Structures are given as structure tokens and as C-alpha cells.
Chains A and B, each alone.
Chain A
Amino acid sequence: MTINIKINGTVHTVDADGDTPLLWVLRDVLGMTGTKFGCGAGLCGACTVHLDGQAVRACQTPIDSVGESSITTIEAIGETPQGKALQQSWIDLDVPQCGYCQSGQIMSAAALLAATPKPTDADIDAAMSGNVCRCGTYQRIRAAIHRATA
């Protein structure tokens, strides 16, 4: 079946089964590899994208569930004020190590800031604990989120 999905403002027509996870459509069909595969089970957050501004796990989002909603990925999050500020504070504090999880971290943080412009540490724990970083950059992620709101 062909499905139209709107990603970063552009409508793409995709020929794939409706239950195909959005993650693989982004990465393998459309070649947008900024969104990462980490666990395939909604446990690590590496594949986080925005669906109408809400953070969702692309590995748990079948493409036929997207409908008319707008998807935003790491490739375009810098066009939002939150995304731009977060990317800069990530650079300022040298947050990434291997960097593989950081697309998902920034996408989760951007959704947090859009909903809660001045998050507390508890807000950050709640919004970010679904995102795993095996390099252990959590301390700098927390600092960078605070910095992006300063």
C-alpha cells in the first residue's frame, strides 16, 4: 500500500506495509538516518521523533497510525527555537561522546522544553529517563537542558 506521511514539512509517498515502523521508513526508505535504531522496543529513546510536537518512539509507531500528523526529526529540529537552543548548548557543554543516542536525547529535550519552558530537575528526570546513553552523558545533558532555557 502507499501511504502519504508529512515529515519536516514535506509530504512523502511511501510504498510499504501499514504496520512498518516509522523508524525504518525514515532510515531505510527515505534515507533520513539521523533518527537512530537502538532497541526496537521503545526502551531506549534513540529513535525519538515528534508527532505533532509530541515525543514518540519511531520504532513503536506504525506508519499507518501517523495519518495527517506532522513528523519532525532531528534533521529539522534546529528550525524550532527549542531545538536550536538545545543544539547550541549541547555544543557549548560538549555533551556527546559517541553521539549515537544524542538525536533522540535532543528530540526528547525539545519536546520537554516546548511543553515546560523552565523545567526542574524532576521535570528533566521525568522527560528524559526514557532515553538511554551508554556513554553516560546524563550529567551534561541535564546541564545543557538548563543552559538552553537560560
Chain B
Amino acid sequence: MFDSSLRLNRRNFLAAGGGLVVALSLPSSPRRAAAQASPGFAPNAFIRIDRQGIVTMVMPMAEMGQGIHTAHAMLLAEELDVGLDQVRLELSPASDALYGNPLFGPQSTGGSTSIRAFWMPLRQAGAVARTLLLEAAAQKWGVDPKTCRAESGSVFETSGSRHLAYGQLVDAAGTLPAPAPESVALKDRKDFKIIGKPHRRLDTPGKVNGTTVFGIDTKIPGMKIAAIAISPVFGGKPKSVDEKAALAVRGVHQVVLTDQAVAVVADHMGAAKKGLDAAAIQWDEGPNATVNSADIIRQLKEASNTPGAVARSEGDVEKALAGATRRLEAVYQLPFLAHATMEPMNCTVHVKKDACDVWVGTQVPTMAQTTAAQLTGLPVEAVTIHNHLIGGGFGRRLEVDGIEHAVKVAQQVDGPVKVIWSREEDIQHDMYRPYYYDRLSAGLDASGKPVAWTHRVSGSSVTARYFPAGMQNGVDPDGVEGADQPPYAFPAIHVEFKRVEPPAVPTAWWRGVGATHNIFVVESFIDELAAAAKADPVEFRKALLSHNPRALGVLTLATQKAGWGAPMPQRQGRGVSVQFAFGTYMATVAEVEVGTDGTVKVHRLVCAVDCGLQVNPDTIAAQMEGGSIFGLTAALHGAITLKDGRVEQGNFDTYLPMRMDEVPVVETHFVNSAEAPGGMGEAGTAAVFPALTNAIFAATGKRIRTLPVDTKLLKSI
């Protein structure tokens, strides 16, 4: 499916080449012009080769730790026939035309789509370049291109001894007409030299010696540093500040008020923070000063009693439930969550009369550009986004609120200013994973087999705010991802989405998006059904997966590797989850121990993955490790709560991350398959929640239906 939908058509591809004119401010005839301005060959927006043979690959997607720059470079290098040690990487400028995500349209890194979206276009880009270089060499030698081959950045005459390095061919290749991307032959998988082999990440060296420059490390001559305080109550605004006291702090230059915030501009963050404290800000708290978590939950609970928009309805659920031998009902609740990326929110902006420069790490460069243009009134072309490697994204950098705040400050500052949020600002003014309130019911027949399944999701719709066109008759597809298409065969299934927006609290996507919420709910409730049927949780699932060989494959592998069924000591247990999300099948087995005081120790996570064709297997394992820990952190500790219109958590002492002494070993096992590649950045996060809570059930008999895990409920009596 993806292959056809993602194929670059010739027009787009040429537009990509033409767009390079925009990117480099070159005159017409893009490839020749590019060759003149910067000697070399630029057959498309992703590849440039200079006369020295240095290959520059322009990365369409943001690198925020997931390893995508290395994987994308591998796709390009495979078809271009260069070694990864011969390439250098460059971050793309803001451009939907050149670097839009084929699955979304705009330039956006998210939803575990980067491999799925660019798997074909980048290979085609490499193959087009290789084809032109081969042809250039063949013309020079007066032979048929079929008698030439490319290897390690050179073209060789297959039968002879002649060869030319790419750098010697760039001028000639630049004058040749580019073939249509879909017309070039891609390598057969058996001939892959790079794809599918573990490769060290290209971005590691700079990350171990402090030389990698993140957005927060931006240094611009004349730049000032600003600390910012946003109204602690959502929607409030500054009422008064003691500007004199702030300015009295050594190194402070200016106090800036915006519609929602106060910023103190100084020589360095130490002075800026001191100045912000001295400013003794008084806030006009506005209408949200009484918002609290209990009211939000009550609102959700009430709303969830009435029907939502139907996402899927098959079979006669009511009749099946009425005829069931056993009927189960359950309510599941998931909390608001912050992203808490290690790199706190920051953005450097220089607003000039006729231009605006923004230095930031963003998942959405063109949205950042449009935002700055709208705020400054400048044309979009006058705004330059200098994107950076991102110190943790997890969905937070899909939002441009931090850029908005920074531009509003910079509009009042003469010269460039770097706005840095404290960790407290970062956590208290995040945009949060929605609070979800889910109602489920199911019926079992006399043999313990499910006859019907209903699931009503209630919660905020991020899609309705962020991408309204994505709503489908009131259903947020993200809100029901993992719920409307569970891997299991149910004779009757009915799934609804009920949009309930909380007052004041901004919501956003969080690593794992819809699946992170729904896989927990579905895989927990299926475990409840297995328990009600007095069946082994794995055997119960397998009986419902006979039509689904890939799901069965990962379940079988994970349970084998975990030693499922082997006896465990008291208060220890294994829990399992199975999922299909982001185009990837996976299963996780968690082994936990629950202390008599209720504390939960996770000893081991065994993950089995069938993500179709693998690009960089070691990065996939790293994503399983990291994604699992990210999810486990939230399952055990994560909750954002509100009181008096304010977020109650503020730093890593109240919004707890998992630490070295707490984390389990994560094992990754692969089911090899030749299917199209699936996404990996979020799969592990989604899978781990129910594996954990099902293991807690196995260890204690206590079913966790509300996250995070309340250890008080797990004490032995």
C-alpha cells in the first residue's frame, strides 16, 4: 500500500530539484546553476556531490534521537552506491515542497512515519543520481551504461579497468536529463550492502564530546538570553511587574511583557532568572483559576455515559451481549502527561525590519516558519528556520507555542534573543497527552470465547485542533488508533469516540499517540476476558489470532524467549501484550515483582518485533529499549494534575523519570519478514503499559485500570 502511495511522481521530483533554487537562492536551470554556485551535482533535493566527490545528504526529517538521519542516509547511500563514511549530513531548510512528509503533506516528523514515508522516495533519489552518474561515465567512455557499475562512490567499466570517481563525473552528470524516479531500477533486496545491516549512528561522535549543537546551544553575535514566566494559570496574563527591581540585577537589560508572559532579557541565564525572580510578577489569572483535576475527570465520566461518534460497528453487539453467558464491563483511565524532553523548551529569534531568523529544534519547520511570519507580519520567505538536532521530541516539538512565545519577546528586543524555559515552565506549560476515560464491555459464551466487544473512548481530540481535516464524522482516528482495529477476531465489535475537551488544559500528541492509550486499554481488557474465562492469557489470545499470522508470530516468539509458563516465585508475574500499530507488529512480555509494600520492580522486558524490512536493526533495538522505558516511566510515575488552574508538578522531583537503578533489561527479538517497513519510534512505548499491568495482575491478582500504577493498592494485606 505504501509503495504506491509514496512514490514520488516526476512532477514532484522535478519540483524538488527546482525547489533547490529557492533553497540556495540560485537562478534558473537548477542543476546546472547549483553546479556553478557550488561546484557539483544536485540531481534532487536530497543529494549534492561536489567535484571532490564529497556527498552531502540533506535530511528531510528531524533527528530527535530516533536514529532517522542514519537510517535515511543508509537508504540514500544504498542506491547511490557510496559508503556511509563518504557522506556528510545536512539538515533541510523549511520547505513542504521539497521535504514534505509524503504521508502527511507538510514537513513533519511524527507518528513513526519517517521510514514508511521516505523508504521509497529516498531510494529513488539515490537511484536517479546513480543512474545519471553511470550515464555520464558511459558517455565519456563511449560505451553502453549497462556495461558500467557503481561502487563506493565510483563508476567502473565492468569488463575493463577504467573507472571514474563521482567527483570527476559531477559536471557531466549535471547536464543530463534526470529520469523519472519511478522509472529507475531499485536494487533487489538480496543485493543490499547497507540496508538491513546494523550500522553505527552517524550522529554519535558529536554527542559524546559536547560538540553537537542543539537549539539551546545557539550562539549568535550580540545575542541576549531571556528567562520567561508564562501565566501559571492557563489563559492568564501579566498584571504588574517590578521592572526597577529586575533591572537592578547585574547583567539584566530589559523586561518584556507579552500577552501571556513576562521575559527578562540579560547577558546570561543566571542574571535573567535572578531578574525574573526580582520582577515579582502579579498575574491576572483570568477565568481558569478554579480548574482542577477532579472536575475534569467528573466531566469526562458524565460525558462518557452518552454515545459518541461511531468508529466501527460490525455484528449485532447488543444481541450478542444479551445472549452471552458472562458479561464484563470496565472503565479505564489514563492521566494527562507531560513530554519532559531533556532539552528544555527554547528558541532563539532575531526579528529585523525585513526578515526574521529562528534557531530552534523543531519537528515542523514549515509550521514554525508560518507562525513566525504571521506574528511578525513578514512574508514567509523572509523567515528563515535554522533547525537543529533535537534534545528529545516525543511530540513536544510538533507544537510551535514555544516559537510563538519567543517571537513575541524578540519583537520587543533589539538584536537576537534566546528564550529559555526553566524546567518548571517546561512541565507547567507543556501541551499534554489527553486524559482519557474509556468504557468497555464484552461478552463470553459458555466456552469462554468472546462474542462481543464494545469500547467507547472519551477524551480531548488533538486531531480536531491540530489537523481538523483529519476528523472522520466526529471520530478522531488517532483517538481510536489501536481500538477500532484490534488484532483479534470478535464476532461483534462496536467502537466509539466521544470528544470531550477539558477546560483550559492544552492537549497534544505524546510518544505513541493514540496507540499508547488504546493498546493499554485493549490489551488489559482482553487479559480480563482471559482471566474470566480461566484461560492462560497467551493461549486465550492465540485462539483469537488464527487469522493473523504476523501477530501470532511475534506473540509466539516473545513468549518463547521469555519462558512463558515457567513457574515464578510468589508476588512475581509475567504479563503480555500484542499490538499492531505504526505498521509494526510486536509483543512484549514483562516480568515484575511486587513487594509487600506495593512497590513494583520490573526485572525484564522481552520484546518481539515484526516491522517488515529492517533498515538499521541496532537502531530498532535501541528504540525498543528507549521506547519501553519511556512508557514504563509513565505507567509507573507519570501524572500531570491540576489545582487552582495550575499544573501541580514542576520538576523531576514531582514528575518522576525512571533512573538507572530502576530500569529493567530490555531484550529485542526479531521476526524477519519481507513486508514493507513499519514504524519503530513509538511501538515499544505503546506495548509496555499493558505488559506491565498484566504482569502485576499475574503477581497480585490486582487489576490496574487507572494509570499511573497506584502502589498503595498493591500492598499485601
Residues of chain A at the chain B interface (Cβ within 8 Å) = 16-17, 19-21, 23-25, 27-29, 31-41, 43-44, 46, 73-75, 77-78, 86-87, 90-91, 94-103, 106, 124-126, 128-142
Output the nearest chain A residue to B632 by Cβ-Cβ distance.
A136
Asked if A97 and B651 make an inter-chain contact with CB atoms under 8 angstroms apart, the answer reads: no
| Nearest-Cβ distance from residue B181 to partner chain A, whole angstroms | 31
> Which residues from A are CB-within-8-Å of B420?
37
CA–CA, A66 to B392, complex, Å?
A: 31
Asked if B64 and A132 make an inter-chain contact with CB atoms under 8 angstroms apart, the answer reads: no
A90-B204, A132-B659, A133-B342 known; A99 vs B212 contact (CB < 8 Å):
yes
A17-B274, A20-B270 known; A140 vs B622 contact (CB < 8 Å):
yes
14 intermolecular pairs with C-beta atoms under 8 Å apart: A24-B269, A25-B268, A29-B267, A74-B209, A75-B209, A91-B205, A95-B208, A100-B342, A100-B391, A103-B210, A124-B660, A132-B659, A136-B628, A139-B663
Output the nearest chain A residue to B631 by Cβ-Cβ distance.
A136
Is B216 an interface residue, CB under 8 A from the partner? yes
CA–CA, A22 to B568, complex, Å?
A: 50
Asked if B423 and A41 make an inter-chain contact with CB atoms under 8 angstroms apart, the answer reads: yes
Q: Which 9 A-B pairs have the closest CB atoms?
A: A34-B210, A136-B629, A100-B391, A99-B207, A98-B65, A97-B65, A28-B268, A74-B210, A136-B626
Q: Of A29, A33, A128, A142, which is within 8 A of B268 by CB? A: A29
> Which residues from B are CB-within-8-Å of A29?
267-268
Asked if A140 and B625 make an inter-chain contact with CB atoms under 8 angstroms apart, the answer reads: yes
Asked if B267 and A28 make an inter-chain contact with CB atoms under 8 angstroms apart, the answer reads: yes
Q: Is the interface of B mostly helix, strand, loop or mixed?
A: loop
| Nearest-Cβ distance from residue B91 to partner chain A, whole angstroms | 15
In chain B, positions 55-88 with a C-beta closer than 8 Å to chain A are 64-67
Asked if A39 and B423 make an inter-chain contact with CB atoms under 8 angstroms apart, the answer reads: yes
Q: What is the 8 Å Cβ interface bit string for chain B, positions 311-343, against chain A (1 contact, 0 not)?
A: 000000000000000000000000000001111
> Which residues from B are CB-within-8-Å of A39?
423, 651-652
Is B394 an interface residue, CB under 8 A from the partner? yes
CA–CA, A140 to B343, complex, Å?
A: 20
Is B473 an interface residue, CB under 8 A from the partner? no
Q: Of A21, A36, A91, which is within 8 A of B204 by CB? A: A91
Q: Of A91, A126, A142, which is within 8 A of B200 by CB? A: A91
What 17 additional pairs, Cβ within 8 angstroms, besides A24-B271, A41-B423, A75-B211?
A: A16-B250, A36-B342, A36-B343, A36-B391, A37-B269, A43-B423, A86-B208, A90-B204, A94-B622, A97-B67, A98-B342, A99-B204, A100-B341, A126-B661, A128-B660, A132-B657, A134-B392
Q: Which of A33, A91, A99 has most chain B Cβ within 10 Å? A: A99
Is B630 an interface residue, CB under 8 A from the partner? yes
CA–CA, A37 to B346, complex, Å?
A: 11
A24-B268, A24-B269 known; A37 vs B652 contact (CB < 8 Å):
no
Asked if B271 and A17 make an inter-chain contact with CB atoms under 8 angstroms apart, the answer reads: yes
CA–CA, A125 to B67, complex, Å?
A: 27
Asked if A136 and B652 make an inter-chain contact with CB atoms under 8 angstroms apart, the answer reads: no
> Which residues from B are CB-within-8-Å of A90?
204, 207-208
Asked if B626 and A97 make an inter-chain contact with CB atoms under 8 angstroms apart, the answer reads: yes
A43-B651, A94-B204 known; A137 vs B625 contact (CB < 8 Å):
yes
> Which residues from B are CB-within-8-Å of A101?
342
Output the nearest chain B residue to A46 by Cβ-Cβ distance.
B342
> Which residues from B are CB-within-8-Å of A139?
625, 663, 665-666
> Which residues from B are CB-within-8-Å of A21?
270
| Nearest-Cβ distance from residue A39 to partner chain B, whole angstroms | 4
CA–CA, A76 to B437, complex, Å?
A: 51
Asked if B250 and A132 make an inter-chain contact with CB atoms under 8 angstroms apart, the answer reads: no
Q: Which of A17, A41, A75, A134 has most chain B Cβ within 10 Å? A: A134
A38-B342, A106-B208 known; A28 vs B269 contact (CB < 8 Å):
yes
> Which residues from B are CB-within-8-Å of A19?
274
| Nearest-Cβ distance from residue B409 to partner chain A, whole angstroms | 16
| Nearest-Cβ distance from residue A81 to partner chain B, whole angstroms | 15
Output the nearest chain A residue to B665 by Cβ-Cβ distance.
A139
